[in-house]
Amino acid sequence: MSQTDITIFEKLESEVRSYIRSFPTVFTKAKGYKMWDEKGTEYIDFFSGAGALNYGHNDPMMKAKLVDYILSDGITHSLDMATAPKAEFLTTFNEVILKPRNLDYKIMFPGPTGTNTVESALKLARKVTGRTDIISFTNGFHGMTIGALSVTGNAFKRKGAGIPLQNVVTMPYDSFVNDNLDTLEYLERFLEDGGSGVDIPAAMILETVQGEGGINAASFEWLQRVEQICKRWGILLIVDDVQAGVGRTGTFFSFEKAGIKPDIVCMSKSIGGYGLPLAITLIRPDLDIWEPGEHNGTFRGNNHAFVTATAALSYWEDPSFEKNIEEKSEKIFNFLEGIVAKYPELQGEAKGRGYMVGIETKIDGLASSVAAEAFERGLIMETSGPKDEVFKLFPPLIIDDEGLDKGLKIIEDSVKAVLGAKELVIS
């Protein structure tokens, strides 16, 4: 087969393209935790579609269900009409996910992306409370449309809006200033003091582990106190579980171990199971005051994604699935701490929770160099944080020991190679 002319992307695709620049090859095939390019080079995937492929690529069980469905001429597109796959998804999600966790939510289908679910959550919170402002947190990332961008911290991304981003107050996330400053005591002072200049907001929106903002994990205690503050002031708590959800931090919802119950939960990325676009907004039942069609979208009824999303939930029926994530997470974190201790020149710190972890380095550009080196050695891994200061490990949850060991070894080899090259430059 002839090979793709890679310059075609430079010629025809917008300058906005980004991941192609970090991973400059043409991918043709993927299975589980592996990807191949057209030259036949094999890569281990520690990126997982930025969290959209938590179950790996082309899961055989989901694929079989999807192929059967397509071959039987099942409905593909249906706006928000009633279809059998949608009924099955709603029922299964309620039975397998919500009920066992003692959670009661109405399920809304916004448009199929993360930013779509965030927009719907912000809009609903404003409608329910009649207030305009939202409290967001430093280094939060919630999407690229104007509402979601207004609660996103990253200056580069915000600038892209081209207009002022309003009706949002940004407060310091857990440990943003340093480990001694109690960021919630600070936040609450603004709410209780009528001279603070901060109005009581409609909602607070947060990620329990910040995916794009630098793999910052809020402590469970911090999350519990946010919930208490929200309750005290009649503020709705929105957890954006678009990236941290669907098992990424070890449990289906990232907030389970903190024992909190958000008023609204945003999910997308891996909720579709197979990498197909799907998003849901979970709404505390008494807050579901939408008028019919008040918030709509053409691609709410992605039936192919309903089929794979339902199939994916069967993983959660077996308790060993979660247990396995927990065990492997420990192994990954121990590895990262080992790297930090063994290579002090890295000036590193291991961060994160579950399969959402990384190493932050104080040396400018080093994390990107490690990721680039890893790619050369057959591992796909991205960076995170306002200065790309973290290299971010995001393996699919289904990865086996062999894949994990191979990936971790490539990371250590890459760290060694990059630090070695740095020494050469300095000396």
Residues found near ligand PMP in the complex (CB under 6 A): 50, 113-115, 118, 141-143, 207, 211-212, 240, 242-243, 268
DSSP 3-state of 26: coil
**CB of 364 vs ligand PMP, minimal distance in Å:** 23
- Residue located via tokens 């404003």: 126
Of the pair 133, 240, the CB lying nearest ligand PMP is at 240
Question: Strands 168-171 and 134-137, how do they pair?
Answer: parallel
Of the pair 242, 366, the CB lying nearest ligand PMP is at 242
DSSP annotation string for 324-374: HHHHHHHHHHHHHHHHHHH-GGG-EEEEEETTEEEEEESSTTHHHHHHHHH
**CB of 114 vs ligand PMP, minimal distance in Å:** 2
**CB of 281 vs ligand PMP, minimal distance in Å:** 12
Of the pair 235, 239, the CB lying nearest ligand PMP is at 239
Burial of 167 (0-12, 13-18, 19+ CB in 10 A): middle
Of the pair 91, 298, the CB lying nearest ligand PMP is at 298
Of the pair 143, 348, the CB lying nearest ligand PMP is at 143
Angle at 361 between CA 360 and CA 364, to 5 degrees: 125
**CB of 264 vs ligand PMP, minimal distance in Å:** 13
| Cβ atoms of residues 208 and 249 within 8 Å | yes
**CB of 268 vs ligand PMP, minimal distance in Å:** 5
Of the pair 242, 282, the CB lying nearest ligand PMP is at 242
Of the pair 168, 340, the CB lying nearest ligand PMP is at 168
**CB of 301 vs ligand PMP, minimal distance in Å:** 18
Residue nearest to ligand PMP (CB): 114
Helices marked H in 96-163 — which ranges? 114-129, 146-150, 155-159
| Cβ atoms of residues 371 and 28 within 8 Å | no
Of the pair 17, 99, the CB lying nearest ligand PMP is at 17
Lookup: tokens for 156? 């580069």
**CB of 144 vs ligand PMP, minimal distance in Å:** 6
- b/e per residue 3-37 (b: at least 16 CB within 10 A): eeeeeeeeeeeeeeeeeeeebebeeeebebbbbeb
| Cβ atoms of residues 397 and 247 within 8 Å | yes
**CB of 300 vs ligand PMP, minimal distance in Å:** 14
Of the pair 242, 372, the CB lying nearest ligand PMP is at 242
Q: Report the phi/psi class of residue 295: left, alpha or beta, with left for phi > 0 and alpha for psi in -120 to 50.
A: beta
| Cβ atoms of residues 43 and 378 within 8 Å | yes
Lookup: tokens for 247? 């098992």
DSSP 3-state of 129: helix
**CB of 17 vs ligand PMP, minimal distance in Å:** 15
**CB of 50 vs ligand PMP, minimal distance in Å:** 5
Of the pair 48, 329, the CB lying nearest ligand PMP is at 48
Alpha-carbon span 61 to 54, nearest angstrom: 14
DSSP annotation string for 266-321: EE-GGGGSSS----EEEE-GGG--PPTTSS--GGG-BHHHHHHHHHHHGGGGSHHH
